[in-house]
Structure formats: structure tokens, C-alpha cells
Amino acid sequence: MDRRPPSAAVLVLHGGHENGTEPPPWGPLNLPGVRMRPFVRALRRATRQDGTQDGTEVLVRQVRYAHRGWNGPRADALRDAVAALDALGEEAGDDVPVILLGHSMGARAALLAAGHPLVRGVVGLAPWCPPGDPVTQLAGRDVVLVHSNRDRMTSPQATQSLTARARRAGARTCMITVRGGDHAMIRRAPAWHRLTTTLVTGLLGTGSLPEPVTAALGLPPTAQPAEGTLDLDRLRAQRGPAGLLPSS
């Protein structure tokens, strides 16, 4: 069977350092990249990367950085994200819808690259959200940010502030808190993996979003930050043990 062009794509951007111009190490030595592999595997299973019955597929790819760090105004990870989006457009067509999935520095790059015409939405995990970063590029996009309340590397308060600022700028936003998690997403790892898969497939339209997430994305621009902030454990309870969200 001849394969048709991909129906959609997910670009995965791992974390990094605030500064560092050397290239990331390869393979298992690149711990931020290794950290995202379970997410990639889960997404490939969920989106049936081996092809749907009509020959279409959802591409799931990791972005390879040229440098380990963000490096101030150079914003190297952002440059790599935009280059990957441009290359994907040339390969798959300039109308292929893309969801960006980023962790930490990669989430910052995803948020800033979201103005690219291919991007439909962003899922950010433990995102790095400096208060001065712009949000106008998020207008018209779906943005769901997931943060542990115990994160000591990046600020959940800054994440909540960004979701509110982006909503006022015309984005559809939601924040989900993972109680008892950590920045590296090691604590409660199955919960992070399953929730992320649910969110990405829901935004792609190949799965369903939890109803509270859909409601939060539909909030008006004037909504208070807390109105768009959800709790993972309450979502899990509403979905039930057979739902898409995890019980661990």
C-alpha cells in the first residue's frame, strides 16, 4: 500500500541548559533527550505511527539541538525548533498541522516557535517561562502547560502567569498541576506520560481531551489565572480508573 502524506506531526523538544554552546552529547549521555524517549514511544503507540488503515500516519519526531543551552539573546533552541518546522513543511506539506511538545527549555522554545504557520498547539512540561517572554505569537493556538507544584528548577507560578497572559492575547490556554511531581518528571512518571499522551492526541483530534481541559481552553480572555488551572488528581478522579488519565 502506498502511504499518503502524514496527516499531522508532533515535534518533541527536550530540555537543556541556560547557557552552553557545545553540542549536546549523543545517545544515552544526553539525559534531557533520554528523558523524553518514553513520551515519544507512548505517542507513537497512541498515534499508530506504523500507519492507519488508509495509509496515513502521524509523524512523531525529536528535534536535535545544535547547542546545549539557550544562550541568552541567541535563543539557540528556538532557532532549532523553527528550522525543524521549516524542514517538516518541506517534507510533509505546508498545511500539515503540528503540535509542539516541549520540556523545560524545550517548552520555552515551543512556546516562542508557536507563531509558525504549521503550529496548531503546544503542550509544555515543566516549562521555563521567563516573565518577559512574548505571548502574542500564541494567539489562535491551544496551549496546555503541565507543572509540578514541587518544581524547584522552573516556576509553576510563572507558568500560571503565562497561561493568563496568553489567554488575554488570544490563545486558548490551560494549566494542569501535578501534585508531588518533580522537574525531571521522574516522580509519578506514568502519570506524566499518560497525561501528555492524552493532551497531545486530544489536540491533534485523534483522541479526546478531558472535559475540564476543553472547558478551560474555552475560557474568555478576562478569566482569572486560577480558573484555567486544573489538578491532575481531580481530572483522574473524574475520568475514572478506565479513563485515559493514570491512576498512579
Task: Specify the CATH number for the domain of residue 179.
Answer: 3.40.50.1820
User: Each residue of 147-160: pLDDT tens digit?
Assistant: 999 999 999 999 99
- Is 55 part of any domain? yes
- CA neighbor of 233 nearest in space, from 121, 146, 124, 144: 146
pLDDT at 149: 96
- CA neighbor of 120 nearest in space, from 87, 146, 97, 103: 97
- The secondary element (H helix, E strand) that includes residue 237 is helix 232-239
pLDDT at 240: 56
In the chain, the percentage of residues whose pLDDT exceeds 90 is 85
Which regions of 126-228 does DSSP assign to beta strands (E)? 142-148, 172-178
- CA neighbor of 158 nearest in space, from 104, 219, 119: 104
Across 23-40, average pLDDT: 94
- Is 133 part of any domain? yes
Amino acid at 103: H
> Where is average pLDDT lowest: 89-93, 99-103, 198-202, 228-232?
89-93
- Is 101 part of any domain? yes
| 30 Cβ contact partners less than 8 Å away, ≥ 6 residues apart | 14, 24
Structural domains counted in the chain:
1
pTM of the model: 0.93
CA-atom Rg of the chain in angstroms: 17
Under DSSP, the state recorded for 183 is T
* 74 phi/psi in degrees, rounded to 5: -65, -35
Tell me the H-state helices in 19-117: 31-35, 37-47, 76-92, 105-113
User: Each residue of 72-120: pLDDT tens digit?
Assistant: 999 999 999 999 999 999 999 999 999 999 999 999 999 999 999 999 9
- Is 80 part of any domain? yes
Confidence of residue 52 (pLDDT cuts 50, 70, 90): very low
- Is 247 part of any domain? no
Confidence of residue 50 (pLDDT cuts 50, 70, 90): very low
Which residues form the domain of 211? 8-239
- CA-CA distance, 88 to 94, in Å (whole number)? 8
Across 10-20, average pLDDT: 98
Confidence of residue 222 (pLDDT cuts 50, 70, 90): very high
- Is 187 part of any domain? yes
- Is 246 part of any domain? no
- Is 194 part of any domain? yes
Residues 43/193, Cβ–Cβ less than 8 Å: no
